[in-house]
Homo-oligomer: A and B are copies of this chain.
Amino acid sequence: MSTQQLGKSEDQLQELSQALDQGISSPVKRMLNSLSAADTAHLIESSPPKIRSLLWQLLDKEQEAEVLQELSDDVRQYYLDQMNAAEVAEITTGFDPDDLVDLLQQLPDAITQQVLSSMDAQDRARVEHILSYPEDTAGGLMNTDTITIRPNNPLDVVLRYLRRHDELPAMTDSLLVVNRQDAFIGVLPINKLLTTNPSITVREVMNTDIEPINAMTPASQVAQLFERQDLVSAPVIDDDGKLLGRITIDDVVDVIREEADHSLMSMAGLEDDEDTFAPAMKTAKRRAVWLGINLITAFVASAFIGMFQETIDKVVALAVLMPIVASMGGIAGSQTLTLVIRAMALGQIGKSNTFWLLNRECIVGLVNGLIWALVVSGVAYVWFGDGIISTVIAAAMIINLVVAVISGAALPIILKTLKIDPALAGGVILTTVTDVVGYISFLGLATLFLT
């Protein structure tokens, strides 16, 4: 696809919807045939449900299979749900084992078993092997289409061996060197193969500094490894050092994209791969849960305000100013929370620097608390002309900002220890803390000094 076409995808979509509205499907079919599977998948993901299903109907079986591989989980699930085992088996013939595994993991066990039983023995063994590793480990990411060579061959033998292939597996930037027991011993980069005297043996030029990845390594660590070392592919081994397969950068890019999206989406209570154009009722149902959780925290905050009804009844200005203290705490806390969640995703937070970080945040909270307390109390004084109210709001602001930033730094670290996803739960808990502390400190101090 050209970059021009990329820019045009909006226009394409508009043309398509017009054509579909008019019931003219032949130009649409022509357009679909000219697009790559990845672009068709993008077009489907960018379409509302009605157009989406019309587009899908216009695809032939072969296109369906290719597009299915490119769709995001949420949208793919929709199409998979409409297929039976025989249809899934038919459509997935010819998939790479790792792509097939991605898809099977989305299916009910019964259908997975039926699809597996329709495969030939060798393919089934491969797929079952990858399926035995959790989705978010190196084993779940790997593919088994590796080209392995022996160390004692000269390079011209390797070259002749390669020439017997019709093509090499995608992203083959190196050949994997194994011994007779299939244990991994090194890699021969293709670029070295091309620039070295062909009479030299593999053993002499292979790279043995590459550390293979254990199959149980978490996907996020694999992504960090690829990012730090600028890898295109990397070998995967089992606990005994036996070569199992290799991971390629295209699958790692998906991990990086999903991981980065995870923090953003979870903090708003959304799924990582939330379908942008899901139907209204499905969307409403998913979001209702998150709103319900937040309603509980809002009621908690209100309950604390309720404790000070008498004070508010006497000085109504407090009701006007109280959201300011709570809101500033929420903002300051979520800045720290976001920073720490990102740092944790990058593997930057450990025992040795947690204390420093908490201490730093404490200072930051104090400094910003002092600055904005001054401003707020000044404005409050001009507004309500009451020295006590303006002193009370200043004190409450400092207290809440310090509590907010310390909570923002400590919460994700505590939640991670408890194996709770900080990106999902952190924001809700933090807002409850900053609301409650904000209202209690402001209304509590006001009760002490104003009544």
Contact = CB atoms under 8 A, between A and B. Distances in A.
Contacts of A116: none
A192 interface: yes
Interface in A359-402: 360, 363-364, 367-368, 371-372, 375-376, 379, 383
Given A256-B260, A294-B331, A368 B225 contact: no
Contact of A260 (B47, B195, B261, B299): B261
B2 A360 contact: no
B347 A324 contact: no
Nearest to A165: B195
- Secondary structure at the A interface, as helix, strand, loop or mixed, is helix
Interface stretch (A53-61, A126-134, A336-344): A336-344
B339 A276 contact: yes
Interface string A184-196: 0000001110111
Interface string A270-306: 1000101101110110011011101101110110011
A180 interface: no
Given A173-B173, A256-B256, A260-B256, A320 B335 contact: no
A283 B405 CA distance: 12
A60 to B, nearest CB: 20
A253 interface: yes
Contacts of A239: none
A119 interface: no
A6 interface: yes
A42 interface: yes
B46 A350 contact: yes
A194 B164 CA distance: 9
Contacts of A274: 339, 342
B332 A287 contact: yes
Contact of A225 (B3, B224, B279): B3
B302 A309 contact: no
Interface in A239-263: 249-250, 253, 256-257, 260-261, 263
Contact of A287 (B229, B291, B364): B364
Contacts of A138: 3
Contacts of A356: 48, 277
A77 interface: no
Interface stretch (A25-33, A84-92, A104-112, A209-217): A209-217
Contact of A257 (B16, B260, B353, B357): B260
Contact of A350 (B14, B301, B323): B14
Contacts of A371: 288
A120 interface: no
Give the interface centre of A309, A322, A323, A372 by most chain B CB atoms within 10 Å: A323
Contacts of A222: 3
Contacts of A226: 253
Contact of A45 (B39, B268, B348): B348
A253 B250 contact: no
Nearest to A38: B228
Contacts of A351: 10, 14
A221 interface: yes
B320 A316 contact: no
26 contacts: A1-B225, A10-B350, A10-B351, A10-B352, A13-B353, A46-B350, A166-B195, A227-B257, A265-B339, A268-B337, A276-B339, A276-B342, A280-B363, A283-B364, A284-B363, A287-B332, A287-B335, A288-B371, A295-B328, A305-B320, A306-B320, A312-B312, A312-B320, A319-B319, A319-B322, A327-B435
The 3 residue pairs across chains A and B that have the minimum distance between CB atoms: A260-B260, A10-B350, A38-B228
